[in-house]
């Protein structure tokens, strides 16, 4: 009797620890749009609106596709693709068939929650790239072109090298992309 009760408790614990986060992640990212480079997942239309309004591309606006009228989703797709292309040019790294996921988070708490789930340690920045699942996590409330460029820099570096460079080199290259995206 006691052994069967322990098994039930262990099964419940397994579901709570391993299965529940997967279900809640799937629920949170119910919407998805695809660009040439990224699959962008988000929970609601407000998130995509917020991201769009926070990504100012005044210097690169002329490079965006000329379609009118453009939906917010199309504009975000164009912005993410343009940032990705600019990062590749800045780093002079052009990985073949570049593809990654971009998971939009409401705020820094959601970014932190995803980081802790994946890496079991604290995080205090508005975004991060996880090579574990090839996904950039980004707080839409704190999104800026240079923040996106930094995280896409990690993606490009990760995909460019056959052997992953040391963490410090990864970070230096991502910072270089972040700094020069608006130069």
The predicted-structure confidence for 62-96, as pLDDT tens digits, reads as follows 666 666 668 999 999 999 999 999 999 999 999 99
Residue 115 clears pLDDT 60, i.e. is over it: yes
5-14 pLDDT, tens digit each: 566 555 555 5
What is residue 26's predicted lDDT score, i.e. its pLDDT?
Answer: 40
Contact present, 119 and 87 (Cβ < 8 Å)? no
124-153 pLDDT, tens digit each: 899 999 999 999 999 999 999 999 999 999
Give the list of residues 6+ apart from residue 41 with CB closer than 8 angstroms, or none: 29, 31, 32, 101, 102, 103, 104
Determine which helix (DSSP H) or strand (DSSP E) holds 34, and give its type and residue range. Answer: strand 31-34
Interval 162-168 mean pLDDT: 94
Residue 23 clears pLDDT 50, i.e. is over it: no
Determine which helix (DSSP H) or strand (DSSP E) holds 129, and give its type and residue range. Answer: strand 127-130
- Mean of the per-residue pLDDT values of the chain: 86
What is residue 102's predicted lDDT score, i.e. its pLDDT?
Answer: 98
> What are the domain boundaries of the chain?
29-180
What is residue 182's predicted lDDT score, i.e. its pLDDT?
Answer: 79
- DSSP state, residue 94: -
Determine which helix (DSSP H) or strand (DSSP E) holds 102, and give its type and residue range. Answer: strand 100-105
* Positive or negative torsion for Cα 147, 37, 66, 183: positive
The whole model's pTM is what?
0.80
25-48 pLDDT, tens digit each: 444 458 999 999 999 999 999 999
**Domain 29-180, CATH 1.10.150 — does that match?**
no
Share of the chain above pLDDT 90, in %: 71
């Amino acid at each position: 009797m006691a052994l069967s009760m322990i098994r039930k408790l262990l099964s419940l614990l397994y579901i709570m620890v391993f299965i529940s986060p997967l279900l809640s992640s799937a629920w949170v990212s119910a919407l998805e749009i695809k660009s040439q480079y990224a699959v962008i997942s988000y929970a609601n239309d407000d998130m995509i609106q917020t991201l769009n309004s926070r990504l100012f591309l005044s210097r690169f606006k002329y490079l965006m596709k000329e379609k009118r009228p453009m939906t917010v989703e199309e504009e975000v797709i164009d912005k993410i693709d343009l940032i990705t292309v600019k990062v590749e040019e800045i780093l002079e790294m052009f990985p073949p068939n570049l593809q990654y996921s971009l998971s939009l988070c409401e705020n820094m708490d959601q970014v932190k929650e995803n980081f802790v789930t994946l890496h079991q340690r604290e995080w205090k920045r508005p975004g991060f790239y996880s090579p574990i699942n090839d996904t950039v996590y980004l707080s839409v409330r704190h999104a800026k072109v240079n923040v996106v460029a930094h995280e896409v820099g990690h993606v490009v570096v990760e995909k460019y090298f056959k052997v992953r460079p040391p963490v410090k080199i990864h970070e230096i290259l991502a910072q270089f992309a972040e700094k020069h995206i608006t130069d």
